[in-house]
Amino acid sequence: MSANLPQHNTEDQEIDLTQISKKIRSFFDKINALIFDSIQFFIKNAIVILFLVVVGVGIGLFLDHTQKSYDSQIIVTPNFGSTDYLYSKIDLIQSKINEGDTVFLKEMVGIDKPKELKKIEIKPITDVYKFIENKTENFELIKLLSADGDINKILEDKLTSKNYTFHTIALKTNGLTNDKTTIQPLLNYLNKSDYFTKIQKISIKNVEIKMSQNDTIISQINKVLNGFSNMVNGAQKSDKLVYYNENTQLNDVIKTKDNLINEQGIRRISLAGFDKIVKDNSFILNVESKNTINGKLKLVLPILFLLIFILIHFFIAFYRKQSVKANLNN
């Protein structure tokens, strides 16, 4: 009996290989039949398919030309602690866009063509160097927070990022826009705030007072330095020795003057941007959007029409086949 076992195993293996070979051949036969049926389908319906492609390309070209989407950006600086106010205003406008409230957008915001405005959002421009520039407390805060977590997550955190200097307001429109009809009305709306207008006046007055005081202190320091210089020159003319000790307060006086001059320069730059609650620094208009299917409808529509035609054809064929089976069973 043991001598017959290898022979049986060989026969079983031959049967298995034969079955596998038949299944593979059957699979490729089905593939060939599917390809042949597909070719026949396109040949039989060549006129309809050509018509759908031409119509799809034509409609796509027309829509790509007339329904273009454009992106615009405004880089702004919220002054006087108005960052949260700015973000809430942008969120309000977006909610009105979602609701289709064109009356609010036209009458309250002042946008000339509210139906063309499809999206507005605001994001901070991550600039950690500007965030800690001349602000020791911000630098210490970043060091403290980074010790307990990922520094990148902290810098991109919503609470941290709202304290950055610059923010980008992004708009998406269905047509071309311009400064007069969209940007300036939007900025005027964002700058309408009785509360922050009062804060603006007080802040400008405080800066002017501080600068005036700094100028007085710098003038007094200059008098001290001039007096010391005159004393040194007088001693040199009289051939007397003058000993200068580095530990005196003269170095501190010079450093104080230098710090005050730097502070004056920073405050002058600040005043240049304090003329608005939300200061617009620059803007870019009408960059054609390449997202999703914008500008690609001439390719998308022919494919979409063909898919719909094929699905309808197979649905009809499936329904007829099942109807024949149902009639035979009855």
pLDDT, one tens digit per residue, over 313-326 is 888 888 887 887 77
Q: Are residues 35 and 116 located together in one domain of the fold?
A: no
Nearest to 72 by CA among 184, 190, 192, 189: 184
CA–chain centroid gap for 92, Å, is 18
- Between the two ends of the chain, the Cα-to-Cα distance in Å is 56
CB contact set of 84 (below 8 Å; sequence gap of 6+): 162
Same domain, 43 and 95: no
Closest CA to 78 of 121, 120, 135, 124: 124
DSSP 110: -
Residue 247 has pLDDT above 50, yes or no: no
* Confidence label for 34 from pLDDT (cuts 50, 70 and 90): confident
Q: What is the per-residue pLDDT across 17-31, written as a single tens digit (0 to 9) for each? A: 677 777 787 777 788
Task: Please report how the helices 46-66 and 297-329 are oriented relative to each other, as an axis angle in degrees rounded to 10.
Answer: 140
CA 126 to each of CA 106, 129, 158: distance values in angstroms, whole numbers, following the listed order: 32, 9, 11
Q: Helix %, strand %, coil % for the chain, to 5?
A: 70, 10, 20
What is the side-by-side order of every strand in the sheet holding 167-173? 117-124, 167-173, 70-78, 278-288
Query: What is the count of structural domains for the chain?
Result: 2
Does residue 145 surpass a pLDDT of 80? no
Euclidean distance between CA atoms 205 and 92, whole angstroms? 32
Per-residue pLDDT tens for 152-196? 655 666 666 677 888 999 999 888 888 888 999 999 999 999 999
Instruction: Determine the Cα–Cα distance for residues 272 and 135; give it in Å rounded to an integer.
Output: 19
* Per-residue confidence (pLDDT) for residue 5, from 0 to 100: 47
Provide the pLDDT confidence category of residue 2 given band limits of 50, 70 and 90: very low
Whether 218 is covered by a domain: the verdict is: yes
Domain span including residue 45: 2-65+295-329
Do 223 and 259 belong to one domain? Answer: yes
How far apart are alpha carbons 274 and 254 in whole angstroms?
30
Using alpha carbons only, give the angle 306, 312, 55 rounded to the nearest 5 degrees.
Answer: 30
Q: Is residue 102 part of a domain?
A: yes
Q: Is residue 52 part of a domain?
A: yes
**Which of 114, 93, 94 is closest to 174 using CA atoms?**
114
> Which own/partner pairs from 29-34 qualify as long-range (CB within 8 Å, at least 24 positions apart)?
none
> In this model, does residue 139 exceed pLDDT 70?
no
Q: What is the mean pLDDT of the chain?
A: 80
Spatial separation of the C-alpha atoms in residues 255 and 34, rounded to whole Å:
87
Alpha carbons 330 and 316: distance in angstroms, whole number:
21
Residue 15 binned pLDDT confidence (cut-offs 50, 70, 90)? low
- Residue for token pair 């620094």: 281
DSSP labels, 262-322: HHHHHHHHHHHHTTSSEEEEEEEEEEEP-STTTT-HHHHHHHHHHHHHHHHHHHHHHHHHH
In a domain, 149, yes or no: no
Range in 3-7, 35-39, 97-101 the model is least confident about: 3-7
Q: Are residues 210 and 318 in the same domain?
A: no
- Could you tell me if residue 50 is inside a domain? yes
Do 259 and 304 share a structural domain? no
Query: Which helix H or strand E contains 191, and what residues bound it?
Result: none
Residues 118 and 232 placed together within one structural domain of the fold = yes
For residue 64, count other CB atoms closer than 10 A to its CB: 18
Query: Which pLDDT value is given to residue 103?
Result: 92
Q: 205 pLDDT exceeds 70?
A: yes
Same domain, 252 and 116: yes
SS3 80: coil
Reply yes or no on whether the pLDDT at 301 is more than 90.
no
Q: What is the pLDDT of residue 93?
A: 94
- What is the arithmetic mean of pLDDT over 295-307? 83
User: Quick one: pLDDT band at residue 6, thresholds 50, 70, 90?
Assistant: low
Asked if 82 and 183 sit in the same domain, the reply is yes
Chain centre to alpha carbon of residue 60: 28
Q: What pLDDT sits at residue 104?
A: 93
Distance set, CA 167 to CA 24, 96, 278, 305, 313 (Å): 62, 21, 10, 43, 53
Same domain flag for 227 and 87? yes
Query: Are residues 43 and 78 both part of a single domain?
Result: no
Question: Contact, 72 vs 170, CB < 8 A?
Answer: yes
